[in-house]
Chains A and B, each alone.
Chain A
């Protein structure tokens, strides 16, 4: 690991003051420490923010939730208001990592996870995301797990977070503090598509510190679900995942929120599918039509074309489950193949 200066922040101002230049913030460390050991992340200054007191979850006046950036994944998934009002979020968090990882990993760290693309993680190989301009071997090489939507010549990486998928579906807002003052960046839009600058995962600028994530009030999200498809029965990154909330009255979709994971450089808000569904009958045919509408823009690579029918199927299945099941709780995928 490259030597660095270590600083321990005790509050947001001291963190932001320390977070200048080639500094990085250390939250749970479950991704950053690994990347530093691999030589992928080489901060000159590491600002430890694990003692900054932004680890609470509060109800907002509008009926939403304000989740501190340092809230541990395990606390987030177990919070009664998250379980009741946003079950897909609790399910997604529980579906990520292992118990040990969730005990360390934070909300901000989860949002800022780097891609799990094999080439990105191996410093002996080119990668435009790690070394801009060095090339993307994944396009010709192994890309089974990589993007089918929104990728570029420069990068076909996927965002690995489970948590970010329901956050994108919910339109959560990321609160950021910096030397220039606070900002609020809505999701989707916080993460960016790779374009010709895949080294930038998000709209954050150097020194920006994520302080909280705000969830809007969305009553029908109490009926929501996260379905994660993975190669191993547990403790594996998503091949494809779906977060969906559905508001159905009299057999008609009044409103919905849908996002896909494992398919793009960002947690992919399925806006076309949502548009196709609003006002449509809540039927399998319409769900399939909506999924097709979203995935019509997919441009799979030779070895990940299976993700297109997979994403379609999972999206349709999740929506069907939401219309069929009365008792959706944060228990998440209890099915045999979850």
Chain B
């Protein structure tokens, strides 16, 4: 595959929708006001397991402004055949987790609906619940595969024998807490039924996907459902699938015969919009005295709900990071009475690489080898488990470039000896990785009689810059200036497209856009550039192209460097410097790309030091369910942060030559920070987040 010449692509252009956003004109899902609308507020279960025995609907129907109170006894039937069982809202009396929707109230105003939802009396027959993920849980089992389709376990050679024979062994267990995506825009849906079918204004990472989910649920052909989402206030995986509120809003609107607005509150989001599973990971590394790995074993346990299975691919990155003749990865899952976990930025890689890259740091210390050198020594020639060649693999270049920029040379590995006043200072490094995906999508390109172009694809811009980058790609493919190209996205009425997920959006959509533009250019050339009054249109479907792609091992790589200072009196750890160096193919827009990478790194900082959803064992919910209690990094937490990239020319990827950059920024950050904290203090924190209570005893 050859990459096309592109004057706009590669330029640090301003976001094409930035003006709308800075003036407050960009319209998000909840900011649609269809005539005669009503407000819906869901009611959540207050038990973690059991049955709903009764709902006192009549009492709230007396309240001013209340239009309806819907629960499973009076709800319209849905048809969740083969679909996500989470979407079968109000279809049964069973309660599978605390916070699950058990009813919805519809009223004339939000306040009326909220108050009615607050006082609605729901009676339960509660059962004993189990919400604790723990090693040795009797319910642990081996799922058939892990997200999205990876083998659950892999094994090569004889890792047990290799560990027994290894000169140096690291055997450590790491744990990561549940974490919530918390995009700034809470999930929101406005549902409107008319004679044509159902229209929803939704905050989603993929309009086509939501349409294809909703249509069968309500017994409609896909053409009768339209999903509109021009602007989306972040997602990080939490909006990559329809969560139950989407079905609930559509169901409520159908029941009351009026348009209905439903916004999930920040507090509600902690139960019903997905989250990152907690993990407990045992990593064993065997090495010779020179630090060459002889064995890698990575065993992860995780949780899912009793509603549906989500098995995160925690140990999957360990399958391809380092060379070793003997290796094993396993995943075990336990179904608890908890909310259903789902995708959160770099599922698998983010928690898995925290464990692996912490263990590599421990191995470097055990072997008395510089941690960068240790990684270089274990660099594989080909993908260790599949034997496939890498289409490009520039981890070593990232490590070396990062070391140069960060000032790594001459680092004294001795922990706990660098004092600056009352602070202990240290530095750490970790590798970063994220796989390259590309999925089938469709697009149309249209030449308008006024000389402009319109490109249509049901892509989503959740803050990534997709609208901007697709415009750059289209302009170059059409050989037209940017301001003559209009890209329409965020609507399921447009040609269907892959979700903004798996860091595959730009690769998937960009390919379709390029192919549609190329087809249009062919047509235009055939007509000597003549555009008829009705315009000219060409379309593309990349299904064949994507399926025919040669199977390389394809990943973006990176190296994360952190400097931390830990207060010796309090154990407060703050990140002074964070540098990420990435190799991710061609960078299509340095301005949007840097922001994506720094944003991911900041989320990694947040994961390292702050984020933890605390499961309340007695009540079975995530206790700290708001922004006052669930801390995400604020501006004061981030000091000196930078993301850079090295040139990488990989013609085997897609017409743009790009790899995805939405998720790699978060991968490895927590390990780099944990490694820096160890270097600073001598305390190895193996359970995130690294809060002061884990350090205050160790540093004094």
Contact = CB atoms under 8 A, between A and B. Distances in A.
* A–B touching in complex (CB under 8 Å): yes
Interface of A: 1-3, 39, 116, 118, 122-125, 137, 140-142, 144, 229-237, 239-240, 306, 309-310, 313-314, 316-317, 335-337
B86 to A, nearest CB: 21
A231 B610 contact: yes
B118 A309 contact: no
14 contacts: A116-B628, A125-B619, A137-B616, A141-B619, A142-B614, A231-B610, A306-B692, A306-B693, A309-B696, A314-B569, A337-B566, A337-B567, A337-B570, A337-B572
Interface residues of B, number: 40
A234 B696 contact: no
A337 B617 contact: no
B493 interface: no
A3 B618 CA distance: 32
Contacts of B571: 310
A125 B619 CA distance: 8
B623 A142 contact: yes
B115 A1 contact: yes
A316 B576 CA distance: 25
- Looking at B570, B617, B635, the one whose CB has the most chain A CB atoms below 10 A away is B570
Contacts, number: 98
Contact of A1 (B111, B635, B692): B111
B471 interface: no
B173 interface: no
Contacts of A141: 616-619, 623
Given A229-B692, A233-B634, A317-B569, A142 B616 contact: yes
Contacts of B637: 232-234
A235 B636 contact: yes
Contacts of B565: 336-337
Contacts of A140: 618
B595 interface: no
B692 A231 contact: yes
Interface string B678-700: 00000000000001110011001
A313 B696 contact: yes
Nearest to B46: A124
A180 B148 CA distance: 70
Contacts of B619: 124-125, 137, 141
A226 to B, nearest CB: 14
A2 B118 CA distance: 9
A229 B691 CA distance: 11
A309 B697 contact: yes
Contacts of B570: 229, 240, 310, 313-314, 317, 337
A233 B692 contact: no
B423 interface: yes
Nearest to A310: B696
Nearest to A232: B631
The 4 closest A-B pairs by CB, nearest first: A234-B636, A337-B567, A313-B569, A306-B693
Contacts of A313: 569-570, 696, 700
Contacts of B616: 118, 137, 141-142
B610 A232 contact: yes
Interface string B618-635: 110001100011010111
A229 to B, nearest CB: 5
B83 interface: no
B574 A233 contact: yes
B115 A137 contact: no
B164 to A, nearest CB: 38
Indicate the member of B565, B631, B633, B693 with the most A CB atoms within 10 Å. B693
B126 to A, nearest CB: 13
A179 B697 CA distance: 52
Given A124-B46, A141-B623, A337-B572, 18 more contacts: A2-B118, A124-B619, A137-B618, A142-B616, A142-B624, A229-B572, A232-B633, A233-B634, A233-B636, A234-B634, A234-B635, A234-B636, A235-B634, A235-B636, A306-B692, A317-B569, A337-B565, A337-B570
B114 interface: yes
Interface string B355-381: 000000000000000000000000000
B422 interface: yes
Contact of B700 (A2, A116, A144, A309): A309
Nearest to B421: A335
A126 to B, nearest CB: 9
Contacts of B618: 137, 140-141
Contacts of B629: 116, 118
Interface string B563-592: 001110111111010000000000000000
A39 B631 contact: no
A336 B576 contact: yes
A232 B634 contact: yes
Nearest to A230: B572
A230 B609 CA distance: 12
A1 B565 CA distance: 44
A13 B79 CA distance: 63
A229 B571 CA distance: 9
B587 to A, nearest CB: 30
Contacts of A124: 46, 619
A1 B114 contact: yes
Contacts of A237: 628
A235 B46 CA distance: 30
A313 B616 CA distance: 30
Nearest to A145: B629
